[in-house]
Chains A and B, each alone.
Chain A
Amino acid sequence: MSGRGWPTKRILFLCVLAAVFVAALCRGIHLDTSFFSIFPEYSDLSEVEKKISQNTSSSVYIFAESDDFDTAKKGADALYKEFKDSDVFRSLTLYQDADSFEEIKAFLFEHRYQLIDDETLSMLEAGKVDAVAKSALSQVYSPFSFADLSRLDKDPFLLTEKNMKKYATQGAGNMFMKEGVLAAEADGKWYVMIRGAVTDSALSFSKKNGIGKVYEQIKVLEQENPGVEYFCSGVPFHSYESSSKAMKEISWITGVSLALVALIIFLAFRSLFPMLISLANITVSLLFGLAVAMIFYGKINALALVFGTTLIGVSIDYSIHYFMNREKIFRSLTVNCISTEVSWALLMLAPFPLLRQIALFSAAGLLCSYFIVRLIYPLCPAAVGNRAIEQEKEHGPGGDLTRVAGILVIAICLIAPAFSGIRIKNNIRGMYTMSDRLLEWEKKASSVLNLGTTGEYFIVSGRGPQELLAQEEQLAAALEKEKKAGTLGSYTAISTYVPSMAKQARSYKAASLLLQRSQVQMKALGFGSDAAGQFELDYRNNAGKVVTLKAVPSFMQESIGTLYLGKVGDFYYSAVFPLQVKESDALKNLADGSHVFFMSKIKDIEKELDHLTKIALCFIMVSYLLVFPLLLVVYKKKALRIALVPVAVILGSLAFVSASGGVDLFACSGIVLIFGLGLDYLVYGLEKKTGKATLLSFVTTEISFGALALSSFVPAHVFGLTVCVGLALAYLLSCLINRS
């Protein structure tokens, strides 16, 4: 395959390259900036989870803050006018129609017999009709009760009024309607809120990013309106900031890595040609990796590209070894490429989108680099790199000292994990560090909104909408008990807006008990003798009425939209959000695992990451088992000596990571890679005249992963640092072993 012949393979390779690039261009280059997509799919309900994420990942809250309400409202209005017709938001709401309350009231009045509140319903079913009636009379005669008595002739037991309070304040938190907007007052400041949902195109990473436009406009308006400050909350702001940061890091990590690698190659070969062809190889490999990832995934997360920059350091190794040792190195190159590809391939199996993207990007890029070296490099003039070869000397004979040193380092590596204690620990909160500004905004928004939401909620399922509502009602009854026990403050569920048909029928039936008291009630309220008859007629006319989700007032539709998840597979799903939770363990016990599931996002993801970390540790063993037979075939007796080093490197790296705070998934993924890359130094070392090439490839790889270790994205930092330390250990050990 080497030499200047074999045109078919070269042509075939170039055709594959061209086909992949064309296919990727046809598909389009899309960067995924969604913050949620970096998390693993962690449950059987992942499709249902995605629906909730879709709702939350586009929702934003923007607040205008001022010392007085009018200025805050003016500020909110200015921002609202700027964006209400723009393509940034698919919905944007500042003004609330005061008629919403009338709409709710009319809805509750129309369905008053089907929607009797739980307290009244249980009193009626317990036969306490008189108590219900007297309570209504006292309410009517009570001062400042603000009960709506305009339909007293048709609703003498105030069934509408009892529901009104619950509906009007559902999930309102600190915000209340003031002069047509949602406002809050705290610590002498007024806050006016704009709610919205951004469009998908607004989240795309480009100069026209919608969130970027919002930031720009806020800056302008703050200058134009002194006394008004804005702050924002919502996942799109985090996605924007994290992807902006990722792109900046990609730029400088790539720039620094490329510059240093180019300088080292130039100094080593004292010629521009190897440097230029190596850089060309890196560029084509990076683009190939990106193209393959695009074809497979449709889009690639910006953070995956941060990791992908390490391809520079890994692929340059092949160039260095080629220019120093030419075709003689091809056997080692092939072994090393296979061992590294095995590592990446195993990471591709991890049920973690971000990790899979990184692995595919890197594996494809590396494979491309390998084939460029094997198929294209032999076309280079033979003189290139010769000066470096001339300077290469064989290793001197090893002595007892190096043997002892090698055995000592291996022994330390083998026993180190026992002392450090391998601890698997994933911390999801530590994965993402908010900017100071965003952290401050989120704190403020949480305090102003005071909705009391946590990352914990229930998913309820049913074979049909009615079974779903019935299941929710059972959960709601249990939540009511927990409310009384002080476990939580309140909760939001669809069944509080629309009960199941069974409950509506129960409610209508219970209302019939009021008929026996209607004569006395009407008299006490000053109505004539025929009023009770009218009331009974009205009750009968309401027989068979059913409240559906569609009948809910538009003001409430928005809340229901986030709670109702619709049909996924064979089941219908909804979410129930407990609010002001004080004890989540008690809530967890309410899940039955068949129709009611308790979701604790952060804890569940951490648990899943711990599980994935264990899988990644198994991957290391699998890598070892897969690569060892290859070593045995290629290096025969030497294979045993080679195989010992990765074990020591892996254990030494694990000890380092454990001592640094615990083994997380990214450290573990790094160790999988160390196995593949660390083996390279040993394999190259078995070839003659490769000492300088191995040193150079070690330095360039360390530059790449070292730059990644400087990333502000914690997983990238952990991954980079782990590989840096592991490879240093692998290089040291391979030097000692090869010399001895």
Chain B
Amino acid sequence: MRKFLLSLILFLPLSGLWADQLEDVYARISAHPVTRGELTQEQYIKVANRSLISKGTFVMAADKGVIFEITDPFPSSMVVTEEKMVQTLPGDVVAVMDGNENAMFKNIARIIHSVFANDVEVLKENFQVSVTGGPKDVVELVPKDPILSMLFLKITLAVGESIDSVSVIEAGGNWVNYTFSNKTFPEKLTEDERQRLAN
């Protein structure tokens, strides 16, 4: 009981502190309206006991969403906005998770969008948040909802000037690391990007 009270006393101010730190981290991320760069995805498949590497590019627009373009080894793209997630596969096969059609899609899109955008309220609503300072701030997001835990157990962001990497641990023992490199910070999106991120 004493241990529980002690941890409660320690935890309460810390959670407030993390909330402030989280806001600082996302304020830094959103200082760049657009971040563009290269993406490396390393995906560990437990049943194969090996990692699959894919490469491509990314565009993050703090208030609009994210575009991931995978070019190697198999092309695909994923556009995440607050309302929907649009995945394009070869042969122009488009899988749209449109929030206007289904609330579950909307919720998932909103949560993923919040990881990359300055939407701290959505993060706090859906995750237990902890922030660790250091050369890079490390933000750990643990889903509160068991339904979300079925998609991912934990999301960890490493943030310097902007998001440097995101790692996602999935329930079945698989994990994915997204590394963002060669970043540039243009002032605005291209017309094509703007259209793709329009809801």
Binding site for B on A (CB under 8 A): 69, 98, 101-102, 131, 134-135, 137-146, 148-153, 165, 168-169, 172-180, 184-185, 489, 524-527
Contact = CB atoms under 8 A, between A and B. Distances in A.
Contact of B89 (A142, A174, A184): A142
Q: Which 5 A-B pairs have the closest CB atoms?
A: A150-B172, A176-B104, A98-B146, A142-B76, A138-B76
Interface stretch (B27-35, B45-53, B132-140, B186-194): B45-53
Most central of B102, B106, B149 by chain A CB within 10 Å: B102
A141 B74 contact: yes
A172 B174 contact: no
A143 B90 contact: no
Contacts of A524: 73-74
Interface in B120-139: 125
B91 interface: yes
A144 B114 CA distance: 14
Interface string B164-199: 000000001110101000000000000000000000
Nearest to A525: B48
B147 A178 contact: yes
Contact of A525 (B52, B76, B104, B107): B52
B20 interface: no
A380 B2 CA distance: 93
A102 B78 CA distance: 25
B48 A153 contact: yes
Given A141-B73, A150-B173, A102 B150 contact: yes
A671 B2 CA distance: 85
A169 B102 CA distance: 7
Contact of A135 (B90, B97, B106, B112): B90
Contact of A152 (B48, B54, B90): B48
Given A102-B150, A143-B39, A526-B52, A176 B74 contact: no
B68 interface: yes
B18 to A, nearest CB: 20
Given A98-B149, A141-B43, A169-B104, 8 more contacts: A135-B89, A135-B91, A149-B43, A150-B47, A172-B102, A173-B103, A525-B52, A527-B48
A535 to B, nearest CB: 12
A142 B90 CA distance: 11
Contacts of A178: 107, 145, 147
A118 B76 CA distance: 22
Contacts of A69: 125
Contact of B93 (A135, A137, A175): A135
Interface in B63-119: 68, 70, 73-78, 80, 85, 87, 89-91, 93, 95, 97, 101-108, 112
A299 B150 CA distance: 52
A141 B91 contact: no
Given A141-B43, A526-B50, A176 B103 contact: yes
Contacts of A145: 76, 78, 87
Most central of B76, B172, B176 by chain A CB within 10 Å: B76
A179 B54 contact: no
Nearest to A141: B54
B100 to A, nearest CB: 10
B89 A141 contact: no
A637 to B, nearest CB: 78
Most central of A137, A138, A184, A527 by chain B CB within 10 Å: A138
B78 A143 contact: yes
Contacts of B68: 142-144
7 contacts: A98-B149, A143-B70, A148-B172, A165-B95, A174-B103, A180-B145, A524-B73
Interface residues of B, number: 49
Contact of A142 (B70, B125, B150): B70
- Secondary structure at the A interface, as helix, strand, loop or mixed, is loop
B175 to A, nearest CB: 11
Given A168-B104, A169-B105, A179-B145, A141 B47 contact: no
A180 to B, nearest CB: 7
A192 to B, nearest CB: 13
Contacts of B103: 172-176, 184-185
Nearest to A128: B91
B156 interface: no
B75 A138 contact: yes
Contacts of B73: 137, 141, 524
A134 B70 CA distance: 14
Contacts of B48: 152-153, 525-527
A101 B73 CA distance: 31
B162 interface: no
Given A141-B73, A143-B78, A149-B172, A525 B45 contact: yes
A140 B68 CA distance: 14
Nearest to A119: B93
A169 B105 CA distance: 9
A169 to B, nearest CB: 5
A209 to B, nearest CB: 34
B157 to A, nearest CB: 14
B125 to A, nearest CB: 8
A146 B172 CA distance: 12
A150 B46 contact: yes
A144 B112 contact: yes
Contact of B174 (A149, A176, A184): A149
A140 B174 CA distance: 12
A141 B147 contact: no
Given A153-B48, A176-B107, A144 B85 contact: yes
B89 A152 contact: no
Most central of B90, B125, B178 by chain A CB within 10 Å: B90
Nearest to A148: B172
A151 B173 CA distance: 12
Most central of A143, A145, A177 by chain B CB within 10 Å: A143
Contacts of A165: 95, 97
B41 A143 contact: yes
A149 B176 CA distance: 12
Contacts of A151: 47
Contacts of B39: 143
Contacts of B14: none
